[in-house]
Structure 1
Amino acid sequence: MVLVVAAALIDGDGRILMHQRKLGTALGGLWEFPGGKVEVSEDPYSALIRELAEELGIEVEARDLHYLDQSSEPENPHVIMLYMCRSWTGEPLCLAGEALAWVRPDDLLGLEMPPLDVPLARTLISSI
């Protein structure tokens, strides 16, 4: 099993930051919640803090990450854990993907997303 952590960064206007995967990679061009794999020596919070710094150049504290839900499929070895976050330091930059977009909750499911992100997006919409 591959454990993946992701963040739903929500700004003051209620928009959600989405990250477009690099073209030419697995699921390239699809939109996802920023995050990445948990390394062997990490807990989910530490991994997400590291991934957000690497992918977006922002700083997040563990107390600002609130677990929301997880997604998996029997035929897929990945499990994604989604955390909500409304507070961070720095302006998110696209350091590891094609693009970033601030998306209104009503428009979120209109994006092309990896299959494991779709149920997480539905849960997020119903909880904000």
Structure 2
Amino acid sequence: MSELHVAVGVLTDAKGRILIARRPAELHQGGLWEFPGGKLEPGETLECALARELKEELGVTVKATEPLLEIRHDYGDREVFLDVHRVIAWQGEAQGMEGQPLAWTLPAALGDFDFPAANVAIVEKLRST
């Protein structure tokens, strides 16, 4: 089983709220909340993948990011490598371009949402910083 490399973006607004999105029910880990992003295409850099995914999913243009953490997780049927970056500058207003519900929430309230197991370390990191 090959590892799926995923670029993940953490967007924080001026009020300190973090953007999360609900995964479509028909996808792996469907119905759970996640931080926006998606898999890297062959030959694509992390920066290009993150910019492409956030444009497709949210309609925003990424201007600058910084590394936050890296997570490897084995779901049993799928292994993922989450390459998580804080998006420190973007242009546009985030919208659910694929019809997915979005929510802006304070770090302390992230525990009120159900996330895939691989995202738990991101939640813990954001709640502790």
After TM superposition, is the score higher than 0.5? Answer: yes
User: 1:113 & 1:42 partners in 2: Cα distance?
Assistant: 26
User: 2:45 & 2:88 partners in 1: Cα distance?
Assistant: 21
Deviation track 1:48-87 (CA, whole Å, cap 9, x = no partner) reads 00000000000012xx211000111245421101111232
Q: Structure 2 unaligned runs (5+)?
A: none
**Residue 22 of structure 2 is aligned with which of 3, 20, 23?**
20
Moved >6 Å (runs of 4+): none
Aligned to 1:117: 119
Q: Structure 1 unaligned runs (5+)?
A: none
User: 2:127 & 2:85 partners in 1: Cα distance?
Assistant: 13
Write 1 or 2 for the structure with the bigger share of strand. Answer: 2
User: 2:111 & 2:95 partners in 1: Cα distance?
Assistant: 23
RMSD between aligned alpha carbons? Answer: 1.3
Between stretches 88-97 and 68-77, larger displacement belongs to: 68-77
Question: Do residues 8 (structure 1) and 10 (structure 2) align?
Answer: yes
Contact 1:11 1:86 in 2 (8 A): no
Q: CA deviation at 1:26?
A: 1.7
% identical equivalent positions: 35
Q: What amino acid is the match of 2:114?
A: E
User: 1:88 & 1:106 partners in 2: Cα distance?
Assistant: 23
User: 1:40 & 1:78 partners in 2: Cα distance?
Assistant: 15
User: 1:59 & 1:81 partners in 2: Cα distance?
Assistant: 19
Tell me the SS of whatever aligns to 1:123.
helix
Q: CA deviation at 1:95?
A: 1.2
Aligned to 2:72: 72
Aligned to 1:81: 83
How many residues align structurally? Answer: 125
Between stretches 31-40 and 19-28, larger displacement belongs to: 19-28
Cα 1:126–1:97 shift into 2, 3 Å: farther
Q: What amino acid is the match of 1:50?
A: R
Question: Do residues 42 (structure 1) and 44 (structure 2) align?
Answer: yes
